[in-house]
Structures are given as C-alpha cells and as structure tokens.
Amino acid sequence: MAVFDYAPAIAVLPLAAFALALFGGRYLPKRGAIAGIAATGGSLVLSLWMLVTIALGADPHQQTLYTFVAGADGVASVDLSFGIFIDQLSALMLVIVSLISLLVHVFSLGYMNDEGETGLPRYYAGLGLFTFSMLAFVFSDNLLMSFMFFELVGLCSFLLIGFWFRDDAPSSAAKKAFLVTRFGDYFFLIGVVAVFATFGTTAFVGEESFIAMAEHAMPGSEAAVPGVVSDWLGVVGLSASQWFTVVGLLVLGGVIGKSAQFPLHTWLPDAMEGPTPVSALIHAATMVAAGVYLVARMYGFYALSPTALGIIALVGGFTALFAATMALVKQELKQVLAYSTISQYGYMMLALGGGGYVAAVFHLTTHAAFKALLFLGAGSVIIAMHHNENMWDMGGLKDRMPVTYATFLAGSLALAGVFPFAGFWSKDEVLFETLVHGLGSTGGTLLLLGYAFGLLAVVFTALYTFRMVFLTFHGDARTDTAEDPEPVRWNVKLPLAVLGVLATVVGVINLGAVKKIIGESNLFLHEWLFHGAEGLNGEHYEELLHDFAGYTAAELPGGPLAPAAVSLGLALVGVGLAYRLYGGADPDPHMLKLGSVRTTLMNNYYLDEFQVWLAMSVTAPVARVADTFDQGIVDGVVNGISSVSLLSGDRFREIQTGIVTNYAALLTLGLTLLVLVFALAGGWF
C-alpha cells in the first residue's frame, strides 16, 4: 500500500525539526517553534491518514526498514532490525501522540516564547527529539527497537525536565527521573535479553513473533511447541507459564519505572520542575504513556500468565488509590496533577491486569486528552500568576480567565469521572472489566482487591480534583496577583479549546456503560481494537485470557449500568465533599485537621526518604565493599602483576652490567647449565 510508504515520515519529521532547531534554531522564526509545529502537524496528518486507511479496511502494515545485524542462515540466528508496524493500536496511539505534541508546541509559543525564556532552540530540539522517540517507539515492530526508543524517551525527559539546568531543583529532578526510570529499565533490558534467549526473536508481529511462539509453547496449545523455546525451557528448568511470567515481570520493571507505578513513581512529582508544556507532554502522550502502551503492545504475551496479570492489576489498583491520597493535601497546582497522573495510570494498569485491554487503551486515550488539557490549563494559570503555583495564593480566577476556567472545568469533570465527560466512560469501563473478570474467574481475588482500591480512589480523585478547581478558580482572590492576573494569548487558548472539546466528547468512541441501549456494535473503540492484525487483536486476547489465564467475565444482572451508577455516585460524593469543604468564598485549609496523617501524605509516605535511605544505607555500603574488593583485590592483583613485572624487569636489567667480562662469564655459565641439564637428561656420561 502506497499510504504506508509514508509511515516512517511520521517519526522522521519531528527528527528533522529536532536537527533544525538544534543546529539552526537561532536563525529560525520563533526559535524553532514553527518548524516543530509544522513537523508535528505533518505527523498528525500522516497519522490520521494511516488511521483512516485502516478504518477503511486496509490490513495492518508491517515492514522491516533496516537490519543492522543479520544473523547467519540456519542455526539459531538472530536478526536485529528496525521496522514499523502500523495496526489499529499503533495508529490510534500515533494520532494521540502527534496531536498532543502539536498542541504542546503551540502552547509553548505562549508559555516559553512570550515569557521571554532563553535557550529556546534547545527546548524545541528537545521537544522534537522527544516526539520522534515516542512515535518511533509506538510503531516499533520488535521489542528491541521498542527498548531503544524507550531509552531515548527517557533521555529526552531528562533533557527537558532539566531544561532550567542552572537551578538546583530542575537538574536534580532530571537526574532523579533518569535514575529511577533507569532502575526499572535494567529489568526491561534483562527481559529483552531473556526474550531473545527464549525465542531467538523479539518481533511483535506474525507467526514467527515471540508473542505467537509463546502462545504455541503453552501447554494446552494446539500448535507444536517451537524447538528453540522448548530447548531454552529445558535450560532454565521452568515450565512455559512460569518462565513467561518471569520474562513478563522483567519487562514490567521498565513499565513500572516509566509509567510511574508504585514503588518507582517517586520521580514523577519531582519532574514538575520542568516547563509545564513538557509536563503535559510527558504525562499525556509520551514518557509515562510508553509503559502502559508497551504492555498493551505485547498483551498477547501477558495474557498467558495469570500471575503477571494479577500483579499488574494489584500494582495498578494500589497505585491508583495510593497516589490519590497524596494528591489530597498538595498545595501546588502541578503537584496535584502529578499525583493524579500516577493515579490514573494506575487505573490503566488495573485494566490491563484485569483483562480489560480495550478499557486500558480507552482510558489511555481519554486521559491523554484531559490530562494534557489540565496541564496546559495549569500552565495558563501559572502564566497568569507569574509562576506562583501555590493554590492558596489563587482563588477567583474563573471570572478573569473564562476560557481557561471553562476548559479546565471540563478536564476536571473528566478526571473526576462525572457523566458525560470522557473520563467517566473510560474509568467506568476499567472498573467494570476488572469487576466482571474478578467475579467470574477462579483466581479473581487479586482483581477484586484491585477493584476495591480503584473504587475507593474514585472518591479521592473527585475530591482532590475539585479541591483544586475550587481553590484555584472559585471564592475570593487571595493575593494581588490573583486579583489582576496576566492575560494569556490565543496560542494558549487554542490548544485549551481543542482539548476541552475532546475531553468532553471523546468518550463517545466507547460508551460501554450504555452498551445495552446503543448496541454492542456501536462501541467504536471496541470494534476497532477487536479487528487488528492476526493474533494481535482484542478478540484473540480474550480467547487467550480465557484459555490460559482462566479469566471469565461474570454476567451481572443489571449489565454495566449498575457498576457505572456506583462509580458515578462515588464521584459525585467526592465532588460534593469538595464543595462542602472548599466551595465557600474564603475556604479554610481543612486538610490541616488531619494532623500527622497530613504530614505523612505531604511527605509522600516518606517513600522518597526511604529510597534515599536505601541508597545511602544499603546500596552505598554494598558499593563500598564492592569498591574495596575492586580496588584492593582486583586492582591489587593487576597492579601486583605489573609491579612484579617491572621489578623483575629491573633485575633482568641489572644482569646487564655493561662489563663485558661479566657477559662472558654469564654466557659461559648459561651454556654450562644447559649442558649439565641435557647431559644428565640424555645420559651422556
């Protein structure tokens, strides 16, 4: 298909923008912003074209672009290559990423250029590289390529979070983000190697892909077990399902780091030190989304392992609740949003673990819209407030910033999960899928626990969201700046408007809660994802979940309506509570009443301290011991050998006295010695 010939350009365009901004940004209009907008706009158009092409019935497209290591023919050879894979899932994700990136570029005009920041070419180069990395990650056709771009995404986040590198906080936050995600990526890397070792390939697509081979290797599968897999399982001495669980959990390490799941979520709140548009990009479409997307991409592999799924669900559910509690007490606008991101990605993980593949992708989509909106809205408020982020210094902004208020409200309603905003539909779908699978499956206790966490988190989500809205926009202005905020221009308002509309209506693509009324076939996203590539679509995943993970959906008497009503009710409880506490003209800081609980929450359950303690008191001493070993024993042996060599060299040198009679004597002695030895050995005398 000719259309797909243009697919590589989706990623190459932002790469070109990166190069342009890096090398010529100084001479470009708006310091590279226009080039970035053009490139991401081009990417968006191409991505939409791919999406439409597939929607019109084209087959998913896989193509190897470049093989950088070609294995020898025959025995257990390994090919390492770059390739693209455009199917329903990746096409959707490409659209999301390029759309958010485009809007972030436009917004940056207002947030960065208009504010007179310096170093803009570096900023736009970073955005370009970030977008490129994420797009290439999304259309990767093998796990190794995914890993490479996954790492590149991490690097870009480091560069952008630390954009204001002259201050201490941003550069330290950048380091933290880099190191914490890197910790998870170590496991991912081992996972990639394990996949190579087990299957001899990391391809996602086709009968020869590792996903398909894993399925064939499972006991109970009708296909023959691939030889390479059975050989390897013999080596490790585990059954197929046990080993696949191990490999899946290794890869999951990278996911937990990138998607900021407990316990590797600590980098994300600190990452708020970066420019706000970057936060929007990181949270909505790139960095954090990469983890969840990866699980979705290789869902066929995870679906084989109920243990891995259970862990994913539990981690997700717990993170959703855990992060939501911390968001309750934060005073800074972006901090609240940061914890809400952790919490929302927890929902997506819960969905994936709970067998809700479609629900996870759905929530990923809606979340991208409303979280980007909220961050950009927050950015708008921050511009207005002259970069003061403390919500207690705001208040009453709704009359002075109507566009920002309206769109931010739409985003908040979506985040809180209030009917009929986008977040309601997707969050409900997540909870519903988890519930039915938890009830219907034999080992569903973990899922039900995750469901309980998720349900409880709904109240907290609504509470902290509307606490934020009330404190920021309602009541009386509490400072002079809030009294007279700085106006924002079209380049801030336009992205807000676009996202505001999306956050309101995008739920329409999968109105799961009312599927009895509108009919199963009008769940567009469901239909979309159920018709993917062979073996890589929702329908197949359901079979896998049923056959290998033992997931069965329970039939609820009222259908999806009753659970939807429950979660909506809880959300409204949260909103009501927020109104009671903070809805007045001059709200009190009610959270202070929580006392020591608040202190714990403010300190993020002391997890940062715990991690620092781990590093200082456990890792550092171990490292010191290793260092002592290396310096003392390993280097000691090496140095010892070299000093022995030089010392004996000196001895040899001393033999050479320069006195020729000594030479003659030594020569004769040496010859005599030889003669003696061989005479005795040969028995000459």
Residues in touch with other proteins (CB under 8 A): 642, 645-646, 648-650, 652-653, 656, 658, 660, 663-664, 666-671, 674-675, 678-679, 681-682, 684-685
C-alpha pair distances (Å), 442 with each of 433, 445, 448: 15, 8, 12
The nearer residue to other proteins, 68 or 684, going by C-beta atoms, is 684
Rounded Cα distance between 181 and 159, Å, is: 14
Shortest spacing between CB 639 and other proteins, in angstroms: 13
Shortest spacing between CB 653 and other proteins, in angstroms: 5
Shortest spacing between CB 673 and other proteins, in angstroms: 8
The nearer residue to other proteins, 615 or 647, going by C-beta atoms, is 647
Shortest spacing between CB 631 and other proteins, in angstroms: 21
Q: How many helices (H) and strands (E) does the chain have?
A: 31, 2
Q: 251, 296, 280, 208: which is closest to 532 by C-alpha?
A: 296
Pair of tokens at residue 259: 């998607």
The nearer residue to other proteins, 65 or 637, going by C-beta atoms, is 637
Shortest spacing between CB 649 and other proteins, in angstroms: 4
Pair of tokens at residue 658: 């320069």
Shortest spacing between CB 634 and other proteins, in angstroms: 17
Shortest spacing between CB 637 and other proteins, in angstroms: 14
Q: 């669980």: which residue's tokens?
A: 245
List, in order, residues 6 or more apart from 79 with CB less than 8 Å away.
67, 69, 70, 71, 201
Cα-to-chain-centroid distance, residue 246 = 20
Q: Hey, which residues does 64 pair with through a beta bridge?
A: 83
Shortest spacing between CB 656 and other proteins, in angstroms: 6
The nearer residue to other proteins, 52 or 644, going by C-beta atoms, is 644
The nearer residue to other proteins, 557 or 658, going by C-beta atoms, is 658
Shortest spacing between CB 645 and other proteins, in angstroms: 6
The nearer residue to other proteins, 599 or 648, going by C-beta atoms, is 648
C-alpha pair distances (Å), 510 with each of 145, 218, 346, 354, 358: 31, 33, 20, 18, 9
C-alpha pair distances (Å), 274 with each of 87, 278, 280, 317, 408: 33, 7, 10, 28, 21
Shortest spacing between CB 667 and other proteins, in angstroms: 5
CB atoms within 10 A of CB 448: 18
Q: What is the 3-state secondary structure (H, E, C) of 358-390?
A: HHHHHHHHHHHHHHHHHHHHHHHHHHHCCCCCE
What burial letters (b/e) apply to 126-157, b meaning 16+ CB within 10 Å? bbbbbbbbbbbbbbbbbbbbbbbbbbbbbebb
What burial letters (b/e) apply to 48-75, b meaning 16+ CB within 10 Å? ebbbebbeeeeebbbeeeeeeeeeeeee
Shortest spacing between CB 70 and other proteins, in angstroms: 24
The nearer residue to other proteins, 222 or 650, going by C-beta atoms, is 650
Rounded Cα distance between 500 and 428, Å, is: 20
The nearer residue to other proteins, 619 or 643, going by C-beta atoms, is 643
The nearer residue to other proteins, 73 or 650, going by C-beta atoms, is 650
Q: What single string gives the DSSP state of each residue in 62-103?
A: EEEEEEEEPPPSSTT---EEEEEEE-HHHHHHHHHHHHHHHH
The nearer residue to other proteins, 595 or 682, going by C-beta atoms, is 682
The nearer residue to other proteins, 616 or 647, going by C-beta atoms, is 647
- The total number of residues shown for the chain amounts to 685
Shortest spacing between CB 636 and other proteins, in angstroms: 18
Q: 343, 340, 361, 342: which is closest to 412 by C-alpha?
A: 340
The nearer residue to other proteins, 168 or 635, going by C-beta atoms, is 635
